[in-house]
Amino acid sequence: MMIAFIGTGGTIANRGTAPDNFVDYLDIGTVMPANELLAVHPEMQEISQIRVEPFGTLRSKYMTSAQWLQLAERLTSVLADDDIRGAVVSHGTGTLEETAWFLHLTVNSAKPIVLVGAQRPGITLGSDTPLNLLDAFRVAAHPQSCGIGVTVVMNRQIHSARDVAKVANHRLDALQSPVRGPLGVLHADHTVEYWRTPVHPHTTASAFVDLGTPLPRVDMVHAYTDADATALEAFRAAGATGLVVVGYPPGTLTKPLDDAVDAAIADGIVVVQASRAYFERAVMARAGLMERGLVANGDLTPQKARILLQLALAQRMDRAAIREVFGTY
């Protein structure tokens, strides 16, 4: 049995430029394709046979929804092969949580799918690249990794794609699950231990598998002191079919934004109310919010709420169905 490996670039694929360069390597360091990355770190071959699947390398900030669709289709196809037991995808950490969440909802397979990144490139002091890669393949090869959707493995922790977020810029523990904590860990003897499994729909139980259609435009609007409707109206003019409004905790907006949201809803735009706080839901029980037609985000981060709204709109769901989706996923 083999594990498929898809390299998409990022720090984990960067050779680096100097032992103490933790910053500038992104612009001047050499990025290795997947086969070169495996050649530099051959230890993965001791865990399982590996089949490299070509995809192309880029910095994660350049990842697009069109490439998400290509990646989801590639994974669904590769994992349908009986000789493949799971897949590892290396990815830059800047947008890793978004790619993981999209794949969590769109790949039609119960086999392990592990995304992995790094905070320090290969030749820098204290690089986390080798261990993170090894751990990703260990998790992909573990029988308990089946049927739990997409996971993210970094810093010896196993995170659900739904829960994980990048909470620091350069620290090795930048990828965390702030609300629920990780699904499990890898111990010092390299054994894998799971503490819990995801409870929300994903992969084979998702309504969005085998999507195959471009995602509609959905934008995010943030609340801040003196925020007016300029950005929201610009997004509408650009063709947004949905909006995620990121409110003050627990999900409130300035008066100009409230008025602009009401106008957008009246014109048929679906608006999801989110909060910039990590913990607890953006509660919609306050008087008038449901009646105004907003959709409650739940406890997803705003960027993940945006992706879920894109998927729901791509399926041509109405507001009632979208509310159900946000209450379920």
pLDDT at position 30 is: 80
Task: Clarify whether residues 127 and 159 are in a common domain.
Answer: yes
Query: How many domains, the chain?
Result: 2
Query: For the segment 106-138, what is each residue's pLDDT rounded down to a tens digit?
Result: 999 999 999 999 999 888 898 999 999 999 999
Residue 11 catalytic? yes
**Phi, psi for residue 66 in degrees, rounded to 5:** -65, -40
- Alpha carbon distances (Å) from 46 to 6, 137, 138, 229, 282: 18, 10, 10, 57, 46
Domain shared by 33 and 110, yes or no: yes
pLDDT of residue 287: 55
Shared domain for 201 and 224, answered yes or no, is: no
Q: Are residues 62 and 188 in the same domain?
A: yes
> What residue ranges of the chain have pLDDT lower than 50?
none
Residue 211 in domain: no
Which tens digit of pLDDT belongs to each residue from 274-307? 998 877 666 655 556 778 899 989 889 999 999 9
* pLDDT on residue 283: 60
116 and 166 within one domain: yes
* Element holding 18 (H helix, E strand): none
The amino acid at residue 238 is A
- Residues 32 and 165 grouped into a single domain: yes
- 169 with 37, same domain: the answer is yes
The pLDDT, as a whole number, for residue 277 is: 84
Domain annotation covers residue 212: no
Identify whether residues 194 and 246 lie together within a single domain. no
pLDDT at 281: 66
Residues 92, 224: one domain?
no
197, 230: one domain: no
Please check whether residues 132 and 40 belong to one and the same domain. yes
Domain containing 133 equals 2-205
The pLDDT assigned to 49 comes to: 95
- Residue 282 has a pLDDT of 66
In a domain? residue 285:
yes
Catalytic residue, candidates 8, 11, 76, 124: 11
Axis-axis angle for helices 96-106, 65-79 (nearest 10): 50
Domain boundary among 179, 205, 231: 205
Do residues 223 and 194 share a domain? no
